[in-house]
Amino acid sequence: MSGEKRKIVLDTSVILNFSERVATKREDIQTFLFDKFEVYSTPMVIEEATRASINILVQSFIQNGIKIIRPDYNKLDFDLFCEMSVTLDEGEVEVITCCMNSGYASSLDDLAAIKFGRKHGIINFGTIVLLKYAHDNGVINSPEARVMISEMRNNGAYFKDMKDLDFDEYYKKYLK
């Protein structure tokens, strides 16, 4: 990714993971995210994230560079909207709709939402992919990434268990 920043639309879990669920290198990872990506989120996702947490870290993360993008449901096929609405939550529906309308990448962690997006040509940069990208750019090292994932998991995030895998092996096994 060189030149123009890739545009991504964050879902609730990613906002919570990079704001309140992680302490290790929090500022570094947030700075990296805003330096490398043009970051958006939707009104419903912002509402979900702020409702899920009264933590000032969430508010600060949102205010530090997340732009609001609104879904245009008029551009979306009604049957497709119904299909999404049955299996995904409102925030995920907004994120995917915005990505379909704009061509931006998504930043989702929910497997059903990721699969639905992929089926419709949406590239996804979930929490682990963003950590991998930060790792590959020297912002964090493998032990720090592992600690960050543990912190997120201990604070409510769900990721597959790393067991004895190092960060690179985990990425290759579950995300490549």
Report the phi/psi class of residue 69: left, alpha or beta, with left for phi > 0 and alpha for psi in -120 to 50: beta
Mean pLDDT for 48-52 is: 84
pLDDT band at 169 (very low <50, low <70, confident <90, very high): confident
Range of the domain at 107: 6-175
Question: Residue 48: which region, alpha, beta or left (left: phi > 0; alpha: psi -120 to 50)?
Answer: alpha
Burial 40-74 (b: 16+ CB within 10 A, else e): bbbebbbebbeeebeeebbbebbeeebeebebeee
In a domain, 108, yes or no: yes
Q: What confidence tens digit (pLDDT) does each residue in 94-138 have? A: 999 999 999 999 999 998 999 999 999 999 999 999 999 999 999
Q: What percent of the chain has pLDDT over 90?
A: 70
Domain membership of residue 1 (yes or no) is no
Number of independent structural domains in the chain: 1
The whole-angstrom separation of Cα 105 and Cα 53 is 25
CA-to-CA distance for 129 and 109, rounded, in angstroms?
A: 10
CATH number of the domain residue 89 falls in: 3.40.50.1010
Condensed to tens digits (0 to 9), the pLDDT of residues 61-87 reads 999 889 999 999 999 889 999 999 999
Residue 153 forms part of a structural domain: yes
Can you give the pTM of this predicted structure? 0.89
Q: Evaluate whether 14 touches 130 at the Cβ level (below 8 Å).
A: yes
Nearest Cα neighbor of 106 from 125, 79, 133, 83 is: 125
Residue-averaged pLDDT of the chain = 90
Asked if residue 149 is part of any domain, the answer here is yes
159, 152 contact by CB (below 8 A)? yes
Q: What is the spatial order of strands in the sheet that 37-41 belongs to?
A: 67-68, 37-41, 6-10, 105-107
Find out whether 142 and 168 touch, Cβ atoms under 8 Å: yes
Q: Is residue 17 a part of any domain in this protein?
A: yes
The pLDDT tens digits for 80-91 are 999 999 999 999
Q: What angle do CA 58, 60, 63 make, to 5 degrees?
A: 110
**Which is more confident, 168 or 75?**
75
- What's phi and psi for 8, nearest 5 deg? -130, 150
